[in-house]
Amino acid sequence: PQRLQAGASASPVLVPAPSVIKMAQAFQTYIFLDLEATGLNNDHPKVTEICLIAVNLHSLQNPEKDEAGDLLPPRVLDKICLCVDPLIPLTPNAAQITGLSNENLSNNRKQSFSSSLVGLLRGFLERQVQPVCLVAHNGFFYDFPLLKAELQHVQGDIGVSLACLDSFQALRGMDKAQTSSVIKSKGYYTLSEVYRRCFRKEPQQSHYAEGDVLTLLMIFLHKAPDFLHWASNHCRSWEDIEPMYNPQTSGKRKI
């Protein structure tokens, strides 16, 4: 479809409507991702748990609600959640907040981040309608670089071409674009704080990979039109994400 644009020039010109341009490049699937790991960036962490929930654009544009009018998670979604033996010690803090430990992971004979895990992730991604956008909270700083480091460690490649979006940066950017007052208290955009503001209740199972992904998904649904618009202009290419550290030269290995 074309529309008439009234301009300064004497004769009107035909230009495609902006909505049409955007739809043409819209992602068809959003995959919400969270990693639990042995620690923070400076610890050169290894993954202890990974969860991905894939939602088709249709469900983000047509959210489901209960009788009270409250948002429901989409009925149709694909989910993968796996525990991973990190083969290095968890920091006491990481163990405390996640409930995962070297002991319970090895007692349950969990495997390490291996090339078969990479194959599983690739298969999951390939099942989704392309193009796909990965979404993680603080993903540009933590989850995407960490996943890159783990993939590099096993010389793994998740195959399909991907885009990624950081929901933390998106929320901050969307606020900045709407209001001039930008000073927010520390912690204002943490996953749990944002969830409390959106839903006036506590998120479930914080620091469980699946719990955090569901929390993120509900936040995204709550602001879906804004997020979908933001994603088309602020996503990055997966190829441009740098690994968090070089897994080959990383210092503190072995338990």
Binding site for ligand DCM (CB under 6 A): 34, 36-37, 39-40, 91, 93-94, 97-98, 207, 212
Q: What one-character DSSP code corresponds to residue 70?
A: -
CA triple 195-33-133, angle to 5 deg:
105
Please state, in angstroms and as integers, the Cα–Cα distance from residue 52 to each residue in 33, 36, 55, 216, following that order. 5, 12, 10, 11
Point out the residue whose Cβ comes nearest to Mg ion. Answer: 212
Amino acid letter for position 24: A
| Residue among 28, 35, 22, 38 at smallest CA distance from 216 | 35
- DSSP label at 250? -
Q: How far is the CB of 210 from Mg ion (least distance, A)?
A: 9
Residue 32 or 59: which CB sits closer to ligand DCM? Answer: 32
User: Would you please indicate which residues are annotated as catalytic (active-site) residues?
Assistant: 207
Contacted by 172, from Mg ion, ligand DCM, none: CB < 5 to 8 Å by type? none
DSSP assignment of 151-183: HHHTT----S-EEEEEHHHHHHHHHHHH-S---
CB of 91 to ligand DCM, least distance (A): 6
Can residue 210 be called a binding residue for Mg ion (CB under 5 A)? no
Q: Residue number with the shortest CB distance to ligand DCM? A: 36
Cα–Cα dist 88/215, whole Å: 28
Q: Which is nearer to Mg ion, 172 or 229 (CB)?
A: 172
Residue 136 or 162 with smaller CB distance to Mg ion: 136
Q: Candidates 57-65, 72-80, 199-207, 217-225 — which segment interacts with Mg ion by CB under 5 A?
A: 199-207
What dihedral angle (degrees, nearest 10) is formed by the CA atoms of 173, 167, 163, 248? Answer: 110
Residue 248 burial by Cβ neighbours in a 10 Å radius (0-12, 13-18, 19+)? exposed
CB contact at 8 A, 156 and 52:
no
Q: How far is CA 171 from CA 177, 197, 200, in A?
A: 10, 12, 17
Interacting partner of 94 out of Mg ion, ligand DCM, none (Cβ under 5 to 8 A depending on kind) = ligand DCM
212 scored as a contact of Mg ion (CB under 5 A): yes
Instruction: Specify the residue, 207 or 236, whose C-beta has the smaller distance to Mg ion.
Output: 207
Binding mask 149-188 for Mg ion (x = CB under 5 A): ----------------------------------------
Residue list 96-115, contact with Mg ion (CB under 5 A): none
Q: Which residue lies nearer to ligand DCM by CB, 173 or 211? A: 211
Cβ proximity of 25 and 232 under 8 Å: yes
Decide: is 34 part of the binding site for Mg ion (CB under 5 A). yes
* Least distance between ligand DCM and beta carbon 136 (Å): 8
**Footprint of Mg ion (CB under 5 A):** 34, 207, 212
